Amino acid sequence: MLGWNLDLGLDVGSCSTRIYHRGVGIVLDEPSAIAFSPTGQEVLAVGAEAKLMADQSSREVRVVFPVRGGVVADHQAAARMIRELVRRALGRRTLFMPRFVAALTTGATSVEQAALLSAVQSAGARRVRLVDKTLAGGIGGGLAPTERAARLVVSIGGNVTEFGVVSRGRLVWGRNVRFGGRDLDEAIRKMMLNRYGVTLAPATAEQMKLQVGAVLPQMARSRVLVGGREVYGELFRNLQITLDGIPDLLGRAISPIINEIHWSIAEAPTEQRVEIKATGVLLLGGTALLQGVPQVMRERLGVPVVRAREPAHACALGLGMVLQDPSKLSRDGRRYGGPV
Ligand SMILES: Nc1ncnc2c1ncn2[C@@H]1O[C@H](COP(=O)(O)OP(=O)(O)OP(=O)(O)O)[C@@H](O)[C@H]1O
Ligand SMILES: [Mg+2]
């Protein structure tokens, strides 16, 4: 059965893909990964299962992360991954050529825009509309399309951070930088190598970051690396000490983003710049879940900084709102509702 309530919102990130099923909600949140057989084109796994295979680094599989820096980097793998993930999300309700609203990285070039469009079409979409990611994230994160005063929406993802000035349901200005949560993991790896001569797997460094969970020491969730014993053997004792220093390390590592916010406010169009100084920043993306990030930013920038209620899902939730009334979406995907 094909109907309006069968349309889908698609947020294909560098780390995770989220799918919103109109009238149902977020029906899938899985790593953006696909595993192929080493020689042929046979798909062995997608999502979490494929990511696990990458961590195990077996020669029997070739794992691809087709989205990098928020951009489709491997067209064929992206198309197959999207197709498989949609199938999984819908289960037995699998649609014949569904209609998509897909989120496009803020500040993407026309080539990057074409790459996303083409990958979603190749995945079997009947129709694809694109929506700017910080606009969708802003709406999903609580910005009303009618809100007059401009806000700077900042989405800190895996390896891209996007900046969008949103006013009255319209993206006025936007850009992105290739920096995100993975760079924080990298800072942990570098510290472990310098201090203990240990080379951590990227996934282990990410795990340490998630366990600490904060950029301010007093907000740290844990001081001990749970389950680290097998990985580090005798180094486990040292690691207990190391975790104590990690919030400060993360606080320093996140500095480039704070500088970029400062720069984005300075570069925003004059009228909105004045408004942003009063309204401030709305924070989205998985990395915004680190405790203390809004506080550190507020202190350094001197403007209000608020974290969206569900920072990692804000974009997908915004896509869900767009699906409710796609006619409000402008052709270029940079305006939704608001005064005409
Ligand atoms: N609770 C958490 N605390 C700290 N960091 C987190 C948390 N949850 C996720 N992250 C980090 O957020 C990043 C992923 O963010 P997000 O899911 O927004 O990225 P994405 O949308 O897949 O990718 P992108 O937007 O960069 O293309 C990862 O680096 C991950 O480690
Ligand atoms: Mg994202």
- Residue showing tokens 């993802």: 157
**In the prediction, which pLDDT does 29 show?**
98
Per-residue pLDDT, 134 = 98
> Do 206 and 64 lie in a common domain?
no
Answer yes or no: are the C-beta atoms of 150 and 276 closer than 8 Å: yes
Task: Name the closest-CA residue to atom 13, ligand 1.
Answer: 158
9 Cβ inside 6 Å of ligand 1: no
* 233 and 110 within one domain: no
Q: Which two tokens stand for residue 227?
A: 């389950």
Q: Is 159 in the pocket of ligand 1 (CB under 6 A)?
A: yes
What CA–CA distance (Å, rounded) separates 271 from 149? 10
The predicted pLDDT at position 241 comes to 53
- The pLDDT of 178-196, averaged and rounded, is 93
> Does residue 174 share a domain with residue 303?
yes
In a domain, 232, yes or no: yes
Average the pLDDT over each of 68-77, 189-198, 298-307 and give the range with the smallest value. 189-198
End-to-end CA distance of the chain: 35
Q: Which residues contact 305 (CB under 8 A, 6 or more apart)?
A: 280, 281, 283, 294, 295, 297, 298
Q: Which residues, 6 or more positions from 72, have their beta carbon under 8 angstroms from its beta carbon?
A: 12, 66, 78, 112, 115, 116, 119
> 39: Cβ–Cβ under 8 A, 6 or more apart, which residues?
none
Q: DSSP letters of 150-181?
A: -EEEEEE-SS-EEEEEEETTEEEEEEEES-SH
Q: Determine the average pLDDT of the residues in 184-213.
A: 88
Determine the average pLDDT of the residues in 255-271.
Answer: 96
Confidence of residue 203 (pLDDT cuts 50, 70, 90): confident
Domain co-membership, 292 together with 153? yes
Residue nearest to atom 17 of ligand 1 (CA): 286
Task: Count the alpha carbons within 13 Å of 267 in the hemisphere toward its beta carbon.
Answer: 13
Residue 234 — pLDDT band, cuts 50, 70, 90? very low
What band does 95 get if pLDDT is binned at 50, 70 and 90? low
Q: Best substitution site from 12, 14, 15, 116 to test ligand 1's pocket, by max atoms within 8 Å of Cβ?
A: 15
pLDDT band of 235, cuts 50, 70, 90: low
Averaged pLDDT for residues 126-150: 93
User: Is 188 contained in some domain?
Assistant: yes
**Buried residues in 122-159 as b, exposed as e (16+ CB within 10 A):** ebbbeebbbbbbbbbbbbbbebebebeebbbbbbbbbb
Q: Which helix (H) or strand (E) element contains residue 128?
A: strand 127-132
Rounded (10°) CA dihedral 276, 280, 285, 286 = 160
Distances (CA, A) of 275 to 110, 238, 265, 281, 337: 29, 48, 10, 11, 20
Q: Is the pLDDT of residue 173 over 50?
A: yes
Q: How confident is the model at residue 62 (pLDDT cuts 50, 70, 90)?
A: very high
Q: Would the CB of 158 count as within 6 Å of ligand 1?
A: yes
> According to the model, what pLDDT value does residue 340 have?
55
pLDDT at 240 over 90: no
Residue closest via CA to ligand 1's atom 2 equals 289
101 by DSSP, 3-state: which?
strand
Are residue 34 and residue 133 in the same domain, yes or no?
Answer: yes
Mean pLDDT of 199-227: 84
Q: Quick check: 334 pLDDT over 60? A: yes
pLDDT tens-place string over residues 29-48: 999 999 999 887 799 999 99
Task: Give the residue-averaged pLDDT of 136-149.
Answer: 91
Q: Are residues 156 and 277 in the same domain?
A: yes
78 and 188 together in one domain: no
| Lowest mean pLDDT segment, chosen from 3-17, 174-188, 205-219 | 3-17
The reported pLDDT for the residue numbered 5 is 43
d(CA 152, CA 135): 10
Residues 132 and 149 in one domain: no
Q: Report the nearest-CA residue for atom 8 of ligand 1.
A: 286
Ligand 1 pocket residue status of 70, Cβ below 6 Å:
yes
Is residue 74, in this structure, part of any structural domain at all?
yes
Mean pLDDT computed over 68-76: 96
The answer to the question of residue 335 being in a domain is no
Q: With CA atoms as reference, report the closest residue to 132 among 179, 178, 170, 78.
A: 170
Distance (Å) from CA 211 to ligand 1 centroid: 14
Task: Check if the beta carbon of residue 94 is closer than 8 Å to that of residue 87.
Answer: yes
Cβ(169) to ligand 1 under 6 A? no
Number of domains in the chain: 2
Answer yes or no: do 121 and 185 share one domain.
no
pLDDT at 3: 40
Give the DSSP H/E element, type plus range, for residue 279: helix 270-279
> Within a domain: residue 37?
yes
Query: What's 155's domain CATH number?
Result: 3.30.420.40
Tell me the ligand closest to 288's alpha carbon.
1
194 and 153 share a domain? yes
Alpha-carbon span 327 to 316, nearest angstrom: 18
Measured between alpha carbons, how far is residue 313 from residues 9, 30, 136 in Å?
A: 12, 12, 10
Q: How many CB atoms lie within 10 A of CB 75?
A: 14
**Considering the domain boundaries, does residue 334 fall inside one?**
no
Q: Is 137 in the pocket of ligand 1 (CB under 6 A)?
A: no
Task: Determine, yes or no, domain membership for 65.
Answer: yes
Question: Are 216 and 116 members of one domain?
Answer: no
The residue behind tokens 């040292």 is 238
pLDDT tens column, 273-288: 999 999 999 999 999 9
Q: Which residue pairs from 173-177 have beta carbons closer than 8 angstroms and sit at least 24 positions apart in sequence?
A: 173/267, 173/268, 173/269, 173/272, 174/106, 174/107, 174/132, 174/134, 175/106, 175/107, 175/264, 176/69, 176/70, 176/105, 176/106, 176/107, 176/108, 177/256, 177/257, 177/260
Domain membership of residue 289 as a residue range: 145-307
Q: Please give the average per-residue pLDDT across 190-197, as a whole number.
A: 86
Average pLDDT over residues 57-83: 93
Q: What is the mean pLDDT of the chain?
A: 90
**What pLDDT shows up at residue 228?**
47
CA of 13 to the centre of ligand 2 (A): 5
Q: Percent of the chain scored above 90 by pLDDT?
A: 75
Does the residue 279 lie in any domain?
yes
Cα–Cα dist 100/149, whole Å? 30
Atom of ligand 1 nearest to the CA of 16: 22
Same domain, 202 and 174: yes
Whether ligand 1 lies within 6 angstroms of the CB of 289 is answered as yes
Ligand nearest to the CA of 161: 1
Mutate to test the pocket of ligand 1, among 287, 290, 310 (most ligand atoms within 8 A of CB): 287
User: CA-to-CA distance for 127 and 133, rounded, in angstroms?
Assistant: 18
- Alpha carbon distance 120, 48 (integer Å): 20
